[in-house]
């Protein structure tokens, strides 16, 4: 339940086959009748360039002298010369205009429980059609999905899937949610936005699982359309954050403040990495920040690290370390503090802050029992915040 | 002098040059121990040879191949301390090497390593006994190579091809980053020539022989923070490159002092020459100075004043990859 793994290329292909069998890519055709076809074949709904690129005008950028552009999606604000790309590898300057190359080109697709994201206060027990495109604007040393997140779009297989296709597939799969996840949805914000708009029309909600490294304007535009935003906070020490991700912590904190101002449902994940960001002081710092600036009712998930990517030299996080962090956060006044990647631990379940009873009992990514009644505790009637219907 | 620019002529010259190395010489050379891998420690006073010639660039913008051969040959020869380019190549490479000539074609025609230059280097190598089939001219993609005027070749003779996302599956940690490297570089090539161009870069300040290696990893987009300074030196120091790198050449037939890495004709000028050195840091330091001098001539501020100090050059020197101090570099006009 830390940053969820997508499973790599082979898994992608398997999932793709499983998820998309019978899915037509042309919106006007029957979903039931058509087998999965080569989406780039002549006559298909969407054509792309060599390498599976689908250059689509970017929504947030400004032009600069000499044909340069400045990307306006994330705080990196990459200055990009002609034919070059920004740090994420997905946005390219073509003749002085910025294009996203990954719109409608998912490289990973699966139906997951929403608890895997993790969202614990969004339609518990439901499924989310989950997708990603290539690319990320950070480079976390423990990236679980580096084979797609740290790759350029032409380096991973992808298929053509319009926002309408995505929403229709979610409906067919009985998923009330589309989750933009696995890599970093901020880098494919235009696609997220278009999926969210298409989904709203037919009652499919869109949620983002993100590092929160996003500029104010795209965030505002996204918040108008999406249902919920999960932020991977990564750490609470600016030096660690910089070393670990290459980014600046303050921008993520700004995003969390803005999410609160906009009233977008927000959950926060803090991946606890042994010896790196696991001190009591950091747990206390992040807890106070969430309490004071995002709200004490905001779910905070302390999740367990497992060795991955460039952090293969560390052990998995001791459960005791996670429990200590949870104790600190609850002592600081947070109402909903969870443990992740510890299947069967009581810290996976939702407890009523009013009477202390278990409201939603979880085992791993499964909901074993949900006692909520109309978004409230059935025993003491305490209202529990979240998206329940 | 006629403007001989066709690839056919280049290949014909190449064959003639190759013929000058006798089979006996090649056989004997095959038995000799090869040169030490990579410039492990730079000489106390590295040589950067600058071969400039009037008439290199014709009024049409094409290159005079005879002048090219003379200017480039003189620079390569002096860089290795030999009398001729062929002797230089014999000193730096052995016939059993598989030599990769990494060109830079990112900016398209007009601001890319010219095919004539890369193929002339290949001709020198052949004349020194390296079979054509063991010489690869390559860059990131077929598309970029074609756009820069290269004719791709994968069957016979010198191979010209793009990586086209064919990266080795291993993730290699190097300095502050980790990358997957070009599969051919990682698994086939035993010796390298960096053949870049003389141009400005909007983030790194200058894009010369060291930055050229951004084209062999799968994630160059992740390596541009802080003017590229933390990344370039460590990339060049990576054994996959460092242990094979023998020669560094800068194509300055037409150079560009501003507006890079894309083509900006307004800031291009016919420098009319080539730089060569076995020291990648020294050749980049000299190249940078040439760009700075030109910028001053045309009224542009120094790179540092624009926040584009090419810190990777000094950084590479600190890492022991070569010499960045111009007062300790022997800049020789040849």
Walk me through the domains of chain B, giving residue ranges and CATH numbers: 48-333 (3.40.50.11440)
Q: Is A171 part of any domain?
A: yes
CA distance A142 to A234: 10
- Do the domain assignments include residue A314? yes
Average pLDDT over residues B283-289: 98
Tell me the average pLDDT across B250-258: 97
- Judge whether A259 lies within some domain: yes
Inter-chain contact B221–A88, Cβ cutoff 8 Å? yes
Rounded Cα–Cα distance for residues A69 and A96 (Å): 6
Q: Does residue A213 sit within a domain?
A: yes
Q: What chain B residue is nearest to A76 in terms of C-alpha separation?
A: B225
DSSP per-residue letters across A159-191? ----HHHHHHHHHHTT-SEEEE-SS-GGGGHHH
Preceding peptide of A118 cis, ω within 30° = yes
The pTM of this model reads 0.85
Question: To which H or E segment does residue A334 belong?
Answer: none
CA distance B258 to chain A (A): 10
Predicted local confidence at residue B107, as pLDDT: 84
Q: Closest CB to B202: pick one of A51, A81, A309.
A: A81
For residue A24, the model assigns a pLDDT of 29
Is beta strand B99-103 parallel, antiparallel or unpaired with respect to B191-201? parallel
The verdict on a CB contact (< 8 Å) between B222 and A79 is no
| Residue indicated by tokens 């064959």 | B15
Taking CA–CA distances from B263, the nearest residue in chain A reads: A82
Contacts of B260 in chain A (CB under 8 A): 81
> Is residue A140 a contact partner of residue A273, using CB atoms and an 8 Å limit?
no
Q: Which two tokens stand for residue B310?
A: 């090419």
- Judged by CB atoms closer than 8 Å, whether chains meet at A310 and B178 is answered as yes
In a domain, A212, yes or no: yes
Distance from the B111 Cα atom to the nearest Cα atom in chain A, whole angstroms: 13
- Domain for residue A229, yes or no? yes
Q: Which of A172, A184, A188, A176 is nearest to A33 (CA)?
A: A172
Is the Cβ–Cβ distance between B295 and B258 less than 8 Å? yes
Compute how many other C-beta atoms are within 10 angstroms of the C-beta atom of residue A18. Answer: 11
Residue from B146, B219, B221 whose CB has the most chain A CBs within 10 Å, to mutate: B221
Name every residue in B having a CB less than 8 A away from some CB of A: 106-108, 143, 165, 167, 171, 173, 177-178, 202-203, 218-219, 221-222, 224-225, 259-264
Determine the residue of chain A that is closest to B219 in CA distance: A151
pLDDT at residue B21 tops 70: no
Q: Residue A87 and residue B262: Cβ atoms within 8 Å?
A: no
Number of domains in chain A: 1
| Interchain contact, B221 vs A85, CB within 8 Å | yes
Query: Positive or negative, the Cα torsion across B113, B115, B117, B122?
Result: positive
Inter-residue contact A382 to A352 (CB < 8 Å): yes
A55, A78, A83, A92, best to mutate vs chain B, most B CBs in 10 Å: A83
Which CA distances in Å does A144 have to A154, A156, A168, A179, B205?
Answer: 20, 16, 29, 17, 34
CA A13 from chain centre, in angstroms, equals 21
pLDDT at site B109: 83
Q: Which residue in chain A has the smallest CA separation from B203?
A: A79
Contact A339, A323 (CB under 8 A): yes
Residue among A77, A104, A102 nearest A91 (CA)? A102
Q: What is the pLDDT of residues B164-209, one digit of tens each?
A: 999 999 999 999 999 999 999 999 999 999 999 999 999 999 999 9
Q: Do B167 and A155 touch (CB under 8 A)?
A: yes
SS3 content of chain A, % helix, strand, coil (to 5): 30, 20, 50
Please report the pLDDT score of residue A85 as a whole number. 96
Peptide bond preceding B67: is omega within 30 degrees of 0, i.e. cis?
Answer: no
Q: Which residues contact A41 (CB under 8 A, 6 or more apart)?
A: none
Reported ipTM: the value is: 0.82
Contacts A86 to B, Cβ<8 Å: 221
Summarised one tens digit per residue, pLDDT across range B298-321 is: 999 999 999 999 999 999 999 999
Partner-chain contact A152 B260, CB within 8 Å: no
User: First vs last Cα of chain B: how many Å apart?
Assistant: 21
Among all chains, which residue has been given the structure tokens 């998923």? A175
Task: With beta carbons under 8 A apart, name residues in chain B contacting A155.
Answer: 165, 167, 218
Find residue A338's DSSP bridge partners.
A301
Kindly report the nearest CA distance between residue A278 and chain B, in angstroms: 23
Domain span including residue A164 = 105-370
Residues of A with Cβ-Cβ distance to B268 under 8 angstroms: none
Nearest partner of A235 among A293, A183, A281, judged by Cα? A281
Q: Is B105 helix (H, G, I), strand (E, B) or coil?
A: coil
Domain presence at residue A1: no
Which residue of B176, B211, B262, B308 is the best one to mutate when testing the A interface, meaning the one whose CB has the most A CBs within 10 A? B262
State percent of chain B over pLDDT 90.
Answer: 84
Q: Cα–Cα distance between B89 and B87 in angstroms, integer?
A: 5
CB atoms within 10 A of CB B7: 16
Size of the A and B interface in Cβ pairs below 8 Å: 54
Which tokens is B142 given? 């077929």
| Least-confidence region, from A131-140, B33-42, B54-63, B203-212 | B33-42
E-strand spans in B190-312? 191-201, 205-207, 245-256, 268-269, 273-277
Strands across the sheet containing A97-100: A56-57, A97-100, A91-94
Q: Which residues of A touch B225 (CB under 8 A)?
A: 87, 246
Tell me which residue in A78, A139, A151 faces B218 most closely, judged by beta carbons: A151
Pairing state between β A265-272 and A300-304: parallel
What is chain A's pLDDT, residue by residue, as a tens digit (389 residues)? Answer: 344 555 444 344 434 434 433 332 223 233 333 333 444 344 344 445 767 899 999 999 999 998 999 999 999 999 999 999 999 999 999 999 999 999 999 999 999 999 999 999 999 999 999 999 999 999 999 999 999 999 999 999 999 999 999 999 999 999 999 999 999 999 999 999 999 999 999 999 999 999 999 999 999 999 999 999 999 999 999 999 999 999 999 999 999 999 999 999 999 999 999 999 999 999 999 999 999 999 999 999 999 999 999 999 999 999 999 999 999 999 999 999 999 999 999 999 999 999 999 999 999 999 999 999 999 999 999 999 999 99
Instruction: Write out the H or E segment, with its range, that includes residue A113.
Output: strand A108-113
Contact B106/B292 with Cβ under 8 angstroms?
no
User: Which residue from A80, A83, A87 is spatially nearest to A64, judged by alpha carbons?
Assistant: A80
**Which of A38, A45, A79, A86 lies closest to A62, judged by CA?**
A79
Chain B residues with beta carbon closer than 8 angstroms to that of A87: 221-222, 224-225
Q: Is the Cβ–Cβ distance between B269 and B294 less than 8 Å?
A: yes
- The reply to whether A339 falls in a domain is yes
| CATH at A119 | 3.20.20.70
State how far the Cα of A70 lies from the Cα of A128, in Å rounded to an integer: 34
Model pLDDT, residue B43: 52
Query: Which residue's entry shows tokens 């278009």?
Result: A194
Tell which residue, A222, A312, A210, has the closest CA to residue A269.
A210
> Can you tell me which residue has the tokens 């959950």?
A267
Strand duo B330-333 + B47-52: pairing: parallel
- Would the CB atoms of B262 and A67 count as touching at under 8 Å? yes
Q: Which two tokens stand for residue A130?
A: 């989950």
């Amino acid at each position: 339940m830390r940053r969820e793994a997508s499973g790599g290329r082979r898994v992608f292909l398997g999932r793709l086959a499983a998820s998309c069998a019978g899915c037509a890519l042309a919106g006007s055709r029957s979903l039931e009748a058509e087998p999965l076809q080569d989406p780039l074949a002549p006559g298909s709904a969407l054509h792309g360039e060599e390498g599976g690129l689908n250059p689509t005008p970017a929504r947030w950028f400004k032009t600069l002298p000499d044909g340069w552009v400045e990307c306006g999606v994330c705080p990196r604000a990459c200055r990009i010369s002609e034919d070059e790309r920004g740090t994420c590898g997905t946005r390219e300057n073509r003749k002085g205009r910025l294009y996203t190359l990954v719109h409608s080109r998912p490289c990973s697709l699966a139906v997951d429980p929403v608890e895997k994201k993790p969202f614990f206060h969004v339609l518990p027990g439901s499924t989310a059609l989950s997708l990603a495109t290539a690319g990320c604007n950070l480079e976390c040393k423990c990236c679980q999905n580096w084979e797609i997140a740290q790759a350029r779009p032409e380096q991973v297989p992808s298929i053509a899937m319009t926002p309408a296709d995505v929403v229709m597939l979610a409906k067919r799969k009985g998923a009330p949610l589309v989750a933009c996840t696995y890599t970093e949805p901020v880098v494919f914000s235009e696609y997220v936005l278009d999926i969210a708009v298409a989904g709203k029309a037919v009652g499919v909600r869109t949620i983002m699982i993100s590092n929160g490294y996003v500029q104010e304007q795209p965030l505002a535009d996204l918040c108008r359309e999406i249902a919920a935003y999960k932020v991977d906070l990564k750490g609470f020490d600016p030096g660690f954050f910089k070393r670990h991700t290459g980014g600046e912590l303050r921008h993520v904190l700004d995003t969390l403040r803005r999410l609160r101002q906009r009233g977008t449902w927000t959950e926060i994940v803090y991946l606890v990495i042994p010896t790196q960001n696991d001190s009591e002081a950091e747990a206390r710092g992040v807890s106070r920040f969430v309490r004071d600036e995002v709200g004490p009712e905001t779910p905070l998930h302390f999740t367990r690290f497992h060795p991955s990517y460039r952090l293969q030299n560390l052990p998995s996080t001791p459960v005791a370390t996670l429990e200590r962090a949870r104790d600190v956060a609850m002592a600081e006044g947070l109402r909903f503090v969870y443990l992740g990647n510890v299947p069967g631990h009581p810290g996976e379940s939702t407890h009523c802050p009013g009477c202390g009873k278990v409201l939603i009992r979880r085992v791993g990514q499964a909901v074993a029992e949900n006692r909520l009644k109309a978004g409230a505790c059935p025993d003491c009637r305490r209202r529990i915040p979240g998206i329940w219907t | 002098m006629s403007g001989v620019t066709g690839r056919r002529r280049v290949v014909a010259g190449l064959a003639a040059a190759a013929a000058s190395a006798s089979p006996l010489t090649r056989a004997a050379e095959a038995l000799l121990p090869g040169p030490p891998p990579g410039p492990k420690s730079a000489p106390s006073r590295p040589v950067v040879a600058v071969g400039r010639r009037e008439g290199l660039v014709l009024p049409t913008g094409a290159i005079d191949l005879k002048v090219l051969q003379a200017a480039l040959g003189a620079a390569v020869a002096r860089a290795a301390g030999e009398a001729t380019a062929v002797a230089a190549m014999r000193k730096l490479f052995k016939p059993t090497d598989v030599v990769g000539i990494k060109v830079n074609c990112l900016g398209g025609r007009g601001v890319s390593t010219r095919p004539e230059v890369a193929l002339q280097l290949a001709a020198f190598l052949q004349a020194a006994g390296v079979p054509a089939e063991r010489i690869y001219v390559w860059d990131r993609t077929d598309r970029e190579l074609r756009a820069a005027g290269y004719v791709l070749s994968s069957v016979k003779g010198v191979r010209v091809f793009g990586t086209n996302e064919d990266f080795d599956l291993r993730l290699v940690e190097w300095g502050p980053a980790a990358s997957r490297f070009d599969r051919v570089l990682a698994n086939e090539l035993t010796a390298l020539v960096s053949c870049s161009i003389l141009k400005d870069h909007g983030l790194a300040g200058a894009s010369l022989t060291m930055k050229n290696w951004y084209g062999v990893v799968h994630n160059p987009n992740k390596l541009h923070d802080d003017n590229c300074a933390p990344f370039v030196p460590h990339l060049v120091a990576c054994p996959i490159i460092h242990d094979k790198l023998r020669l560094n050449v800068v194509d300055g037939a037409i150079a560009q002092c501003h507006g890079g890495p894309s083509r900006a004709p307004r800031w291009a000028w016919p420098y009319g020459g080539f730089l060569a050195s076995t020291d990648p840091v020294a050749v980049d330091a000299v190249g940078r100075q040439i760009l700075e001098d030109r910028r001053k001539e045309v009224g542009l501020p120094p790179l540092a004043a624009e926040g584009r100090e090419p810190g990777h050059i000094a950084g590479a020197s600190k890492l022991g990859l070569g010499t960045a101090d111009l007062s300790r570099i022997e800049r020789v006009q040849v």
